[in-house]
Amino acid sequence: MTAPEDPSPESPVLVVDDDPWTLGVLVDLLHREGVRSLTASSAEQALELVENVVPRLALIDVVMPGMGGLALCRRLKDDPRTAGIPVVLVTGRVYAEDVDAGMAAGAIDYIKKPFDRSEARFRIRTHLRLQDAIQKQRIYEKNLLGILETLPVGIAIVGNDRRVRWTNRATQQLACASGPNDLTGQPCNDVLCGAPDGKCPILDLGETIEKVEMTFPRADGSSVPVLKSVHEVEFDGHIALLEVFVDLRKRKQLEIELGHARKLEAVGQLAAGIAHEINTPTQYVGDSVQFLKEAFDGLQRLMVKYRETIASLVGAGSALSEEIAALETEVDLDYLQENIPGAFNDCIGGISRIANIVRAMKEFAHPDQREQSLADINQALLNTLTIARNEYKSVADAESDLAELPQIMCHLGDLNQVFLNLIVNAGHAIAEAEQGTGARGKILLKTALEGDFVRIEVSDTGAGIAASIRDRVFDPFFTTKPVGKGTGQGLAIARSIVVDRHRGTLTFDSTVGAGTTFTVRLPVGGAPVSERGAR
């Protein structure tokens, strides 16, 4: 048995009458209207016919052997599949009690027997047109509901009792609801407004609010920034409020990323300028210290000869040799000869360290290109480790296990920000875990080549990430740091850079009490050409 379809203008009209002559007349009238007919000589036969076909109208004789027309009408109305079929009774009894009985059974009209053909045709035509209009209205409402359900904008109807009457799919997704039943009937202040005091002053009836930025509460305890407007409408015969919600997360994210990009550009330009200014005097000091070291080495050799000469004069009792010996004791010449070479080495090492920091800063702050370019990921990691050292040096030691990698196509400036964020977060995680213990943690950077991808791991020995928040780690605005310590944007932006801009992956594995490893996988060849430079 196939499921019945909704009636349409092409659907037949069901005619049920045990009198062949009446049946024929009604079928002829329908034919003149250009309408197909479906005939039955008994109520039982009619029920069999509507199992597979839903007629657009039913003309039913009241008095028939077996099941009568009123009983058939009730059977049709009791079945959800056929309850919508309009029924017109064909009867010779039109007294008030008969009319009441017919209406009580679910009929909408009657045709009196013996009937006038013109009157019967007029009544049939009227009901057919009415059904066509109703069907068009249903189609219109169905299409409108489909549009409202698929709109990427949240829509809700709120009654004058402040309870939710209807929501579309976008609103349910905003609320993190499993379906409309989670919201329907609930107080709007609880599930739509998100007002901390439980009141929503913008919901007063009679007002029209064009645009208000607010937070939309979610079932998981989080909230979503939205742009809300409220309009007074009629719903189910009553005045209600139409509330419209536009999700602002992408716009907010874009604003944050643009602000972040501008900030990074300014910091990068400043860092590059500082690095350039430091580089020149550092090179000058380094060259001078190197010169002094080489000069002192020569003086050391000459000093040996002088001391040999002075020693030969001592035997001759020269007063000058005694003065020189006294002066050597006064300036502690032996100590100077022993320690000055080491001091020179320390100066050269320190200057070399400064030079490395300056070089790393220049490479880290180098303005990123719109197009991807080849870059050395291992060197980028080491540069970032140098830049971030102040964030972890007091609580952790950093180690690296870097495999031999090919240069990859990427936006290096963006990736530097990803690496910096992961290393700084690792340092903060260790600091939090080791607070007050005096123990030192470890940050480990590892790289490997996996087919067409480069794998980068940043591991820490911090406290790990609790299972209850792991699915929110990359959410914008989510942070476990105290107010003022974190914006909740670092990992969200990092994931956007890796996944959206480079078509890579950013994942993590964490064990509470043992630490966390963030893993970045990047394609060696970079993102597809059509996507390069797109933000």
- Per-residue pLDDT tens digits for 142-158: 888 888 888 888 888 88
Bridge partner list, 522: 454
Mean of the pLDDT values across residues 261-290? 62
Same domain, 514 and 396: yes
**Average model confidence (pLDDT) across the chain:** 80
Same domain, 170 and 266: no
Using the 3D structure, point to which of 89, 115, 148 is the last residue of a domain.
148
List of E strands, 284-402: 373-375, 396-402
Q: Is residue 4 part of a domain?
A: no
CA-CA distances (angstroms) from residue 315 to 257, 302, 309, 322, 430? 83, 21, 11, 10, 68
Q: How far apart are CA 58 and CA 84, in angstroms?
A: 11
- Helix, coil or strand: residue 113: coil
Mean of the pLDDT values across residues 401-429? 90
Residue closest to 297 by CA, chosen among 330, 251, 259, 342: 342
Residue 486 is predicted with a pLDDT of: 47
Q: How far apart are CA 167 and CA 179, in angstroms?
A: 9
Poorest-pLDDT segment among 10-24, 102-116, 217-231, 379-393: 217-231
Helix axes 249-314 and 319-331, enclosed angle (nearest 10): 160
Q: Is residue 109 part of a domain?
A: yes
Same domain, 350 and 469: no
Q: How far apart are CA 448 and CA 436, in angstroms?
A: 36
The pTM is what? 0.44
Same domain, 169 and 127: no
Poorest-pLDDT segment among 136-140, 276-280, 473-477: 276-280
**More confidently predicted of 339 and 21:** 21
Residue 488 is predicted with a pLDDT of: 47
Residue 41 is predicted with a pLDDT of: 93
Number of folded domains in the chain? 4
Residue closest to 91 by CA, chosen among 22, 32, 11, 139: 22
pLDDT band at 201 (very low <50, low <70, confident <90, very high): very low
**More confidently predicted of 39 and 5:** 39
Lookup: tokens for 146 = 């489909």
Residue 361 is predicted with a pLDDT of: 63
User: Does pLDDT of 192 surpass 50?
Assistant: yes
Lookup: tokens for 255 = 């604003």
User: Does pLDDT of 434 surpass 50?
Assistant: yes
Measure the N-to-C terminal CA separation of the chain; round to a whole number of Å. Answer: 55
**More confidently predicted of 249 and 166:** 166
Residue 3 is predicted with a pLDDT of: 45
Same domain, 85 and 60: yes
Mean of the pLDDT values across residues 314-340? 70
* CATH number, position 241: 3.30.450.20
Mean of the pLDDT values across residues 264-290? 63
User: Does pLDDT of 534 surpass 70?
Assistant: no
Same domain, 290 and 432: no
Helix axes 333-364 and 249-314, enclosed angle (nearest 10): 160
Lookup: tokens for 68 = 């009568």
Exposure class string for 320-329: b at 16+ Cβ within 10 A, else e: ebeebbeeee
Q: How far apart are CA 471 and CA 150, in angstroms?
A: 26
pLDDT band at 369 (very low <50, low <70, confident <90, very high): low
Q: How far apart are CA 487 and CA 105, in angstroms?
A: 67
Q: How far apart are CA 195 and CA 160, in angstroms?
A: 18
Residue 188 is predicted with a pLDDT of: 80
> Which phi-psi region, left, alpha or beta, contains residue 509 (left: φ > 0; alpha: ψ -120 to 50)?
beta
Report the sign of the C-alpha dihedral through residues 27, 30, 35, 40, in that order.
Answer: negative
Reported as type and span, the H/E element at residue 488 is none
Poorest-pLDDT segment among 94-98, 99-103, 337-341: 337-341
Give residue 104's identity as a one-letter amino acid code.
Answer: A
Poorest-pLDDT segment among 326-330, 354-358, 470-474: 354-358
pLDDT digits (tens, 9 = 90+) for 202-250: 445 455 556 777 777 777 777 788 888 888 888 877 888 888 888 887 7
Q: Is residue 271 part of a domain?
A: yes
Mean of the pLDDT values across residues 193-199? 49
Residue closest to 528 by CA, chosen among 509, 500, 507, 493: 500
Q: Is residue 182 part of a domain?
A: yes
User: Does pLDDT of 508 surpass 70?
Assistant: yes
Report the sign of the C-alpha dihedral through residues 167, 171, 175, 177, in that order.
Answer: positive
Tell how far CA 180 is from the center of its chain: 21
Q: What is the percentage of the chain residues whose pLDDT exceeds 70?
A: 77
- Domain with 142 in it: 13-148
Residue closest to 77 by CA, chosen among 68, 87, 67, 90: 87
User: Does pLDDT of 312 surpass 90?
Assistant: no
Same domain, 261 and 318: yes
User: Does pLDDT of 60 surpass 70?
Assistant: yes
Q: Is residue 213 part of a domain?
A: yes
Same domain, 256 and 242: no
Residue 357 is predicted with a pLDDT of: 66
User: Does pLDDT of 284 surpass 70?
Assistant: no
Using the 3D structure, point to which of 342, 364, 386 is the last residue of a domain.
364
User: Does pLDDT of 453 surpass 80?
Assistant: yes
Same domain, 323 and 377: no
Same domain, 390 and 502: yes
pLDDT digits (tens, 9 = 90+) for 35-45: 899 999 999 99
Q: Is residue 7 part of a domain?
A: no
Residue 412 is predicted with a pLDDT of: 86
Using the 3D structure, point to which of 364, 399, 426 is the last residue of a domain.
364
Mean of the pLDDT values across residues 427-441? 88
Tell how far CA 165 is from the center of its chain: 28
Poorest-pLDDT segment among 27-31, 111-115, 248-252, 277-281: 277-281
Q: What is the percentage of the chain residues whose pLDDT exceeds 90?
A: 25
* CATH number, position 65: 3.40.50.2300
Same domain, 309 and 428: no
- The backbone torsions φ and ψ at residue 364, rounded to the nearest 5 degrees and listed phi first, read -65, -40
**Residue corresponding to tokens 């009227």:** 126
Q: Is residue 1 part of a domain?
A: no
**More confidently predicted of 524 and 191:** 524
Q: How far apart are CA 245 and CA 153, in angstroms?
A: 6
User: Does pLDDT of 52 surpass 70?
Assistant: yes
Q: Is residue 196 part of a domain?
A: yes
pLDDT band at 417 (very low <50, low <70, confident <90, very high): confident
Lookup: tokens for 431 = 């600091």
Mean of the pLDDT values across residues 315-339? 71
Mean of the pLDDT values across residues 188-197? 65
Q: How far apart are CA 327 and CA 93, in angstroms?
A: 145
Same domain, 264 and 340: yes
Mean of the pLDDT values across residues 333-355? 73
Residue 68 is predicted with a pLDDT of: 92
pLDDT digits (tens, 9 = 90+) for 471-503: 888 876 556 655 444 444 678 888 888 998 889
Residue 484 is predicted with a pLDDT of: 44
Bridge partner list, 37: 13
Alpha-helix residue ranges (DSSP H) falling in 315-332: 319-331
Alpha-helix residue ranges (DSSP H) falling in 50-162: 69-78, 96-105, 117-150
Mean of the pLDDT values across residues 406-417? 88
Describe the strand order of the beta sheet including 37-40 as a list of residue ranges. Answer: 37-40, 13-16, 57-61, 87-91, 109-112
**Does residue 114 have a cis bond before it (omega within 30 degrees)?**
yes
* CATH number, position 446: 3.30.565.10
